[in-house]
Amino acid sequence: MLQLRGLPVVPDPRPSRRARLLETLALSKAEAMLVSHPPNVRYLSGFTGSNALLLVSPKKSVLYTDPRYNFQASAECDCAVKVLTGSTWTDAVKDIARKPISRIALEAARVTHQQWLVASAVFGKKTKLTGVGTLVDRQRMVKSAFEIELIRRSVLLASKVYEKAIRKVKPETTELALAATIDFEMRKLGASGPSFETIVASGEHSGLPHARPRPVQVGRDRLLLVDMGACLDGYASDMTRMAYLGRPTAKATDLHSAVLEAQLAALGMVRAGVQACKVDEAARQSLKKRKLDKAFMHSTGHGLGLEIHEDPRIGRTSADTLEAGMVITIEPGAYLEGYGGVRIEDTILVTETGAEILTPTAKELLVLAS
Ligand code: ZN
Ligand code: ZN
């Protein structure tokens, strides 16, 4: 049973997650899987440490880790734990080789070439290897009610911190100081930290979609972009909001309203059964009407959960179809070289009938007196 911060106690979902994985795995004719990507290990076993491998097998699932995590692994995992003193990969593979498994799946997208060679040498002809790409990541796309609750809390924490921090910004505040305040406030409220490096970008710098905060004052009469999220109880949140220091020019408000229109157009498309690429297209078409389609050079959104960027991807080439229970971001932007950029991003829950916007923060261009 899990109990977190006063949440209702819910049945531990991990054995059923492993059972579901084994069902999908049967399609690739593998009897067991060695999971190595840490968020996937966490999802299937509960282990939150940085070094572990998880054998998921119908007979017995085993978590392999090193002596640093001896006590932690036993406390967190609901499956058998084996502590290895040598190389975790080599020793785990040797242990698995003693089991009667004729075909085992590896996370092909996460295993190094070297690890694959070690595994095939140790297994020899007895156990065949199958690469299964991102099977567990795909399973993680649709969130349980419990996970949605955790994301909801992470979103609320981030919004609370943003609203407090942004009101205190002065023209003399540096981008780095504002980012540091945001990170500090998130931790004070119980987050383990930001879910990605907090972005604070003012003026021209906001025109870089992945700007890094600088030791530079945010200044007056310019746009200010903040893109931030918290990591709370392992779950990420993600939001972008725009502020303006001083009286916004028509250029700034026009750019902001064009992006807001695009964001609302994309949100309007969200519903279970809709192709993710159609949501992206809605944002792009909306910006095209304002001749800003070329100023939007990234995708419209991404899934999030145990990681900040997860499947499904909401982009032009995405082959994914939205399902109820997916938690994604909707974040179109428009970036003008030499001037600056606007991005508006919410974390949302896909439902049968539409989108439930989890981010409560107002989306208007926030005018801060300079
Ligand atoms: Zn973001
Ligand atoms: Zn994002």
Distances (CA, A) of 250 to 14, 244, 255: 53, 12, 8
Ligand with minimal distance to 343 CA: 1
Contact at 8 Å (CB) between 54 and 63? yes
On the question of a cis peptide bond just before residue 360, with omega within 30 degrees of 0, the verdict is: no
What is the rounded distance in angstroms from the CA atom of residue 96 to the CA atom of residue 30?
Answer: 14
In the chain, domain spans: 14-139, 145-368
Q: How far is the CA of 239 from the centre of ligand 1 (A)?
A: 5
What is the rounded distance in angstroms from the CA atom of residue 162 to the CA atom of residue 178?
Answer: 10
Q: How far is the CA of 101 from the centre of ligand 2 (A)?
A: 40
321 phi and psi, to 5 degrees?
A: -115, 135
Q: How far is the CA of 85 from the centre of ligand 2 (A)?
A: 39
Q: What radius of gyration do the chain's Cα atoms show?
A: 23
Look at residue 8 in the predicted model and tell me its pLDDT.
58
341 phi and psi, to 5 degrees?
A: -140, 165
Q: How far is the CA of 237 from the centre of ligand 2 (A)?
A: 9
Closest CA to 231 of 151, 140, 311, 162: 151
Closest CA to 123 of 145, 152, 93: 93
Q: What is the DSSP letter of 361?
A: S
Q: What is the DSSP letter of 217?
A: B
The CATH label, of 3.40.50.1370, 3.40.190.10, 3.90.230.10, 3.30.70.60, for the domain at 145-368 is 3.90.230.10
Ligand with minimal distance to 302 CA: 2
Q: Which two tokens stand for residue 281?
A: 């297209």
Report the DSSP beta bridge partners of residue 243: 224, 366
pLDDT along the chain (370 residues), means of 10: 52 83 92 97 96 95 97 94 97 96 95 96 94 93 94 97 97 98 98 98 96 97 98 97 96 98 98 98 98 97 98 97 98 97 98 98 93
Report the DSSP beta bridge partners of residue 368: 245
Q: What is the DSSP letter of 143?
A: P
CATH code given to domain 14-139: 3.40.350.10
Q: How far is the CA of 194 from the centre of ligand 2 (A)?
A: 13
Q: Which two tokens stand for residue 179?
A: 């980012």
Q: Which two tokens stand for residue 81?
A: 């734990």
Contact at 8 Å (CB) between 307 and 236? yes
Closest CA to 156 of 227, 218, 239: 239
Ligand with minimal distance to 210 CA: 1
Q: How far is the CA of 329 from the centre of ligand 2 (A)?
A: 6
What is the rounded distance in angstroms from the CA atom of residue 241 to the CA atom of residue 342?
Answer: 8
pTM of the model: 0.94
Q: How far is the CA of 342 from the centre of ligand 2 (A)?
A: 14
Asked whether the CA dihedral 331, 207, 258, 370 is positive or negative, the reply is: positive
Report the DSSP beta bridge partners of residue 33: 56, 105
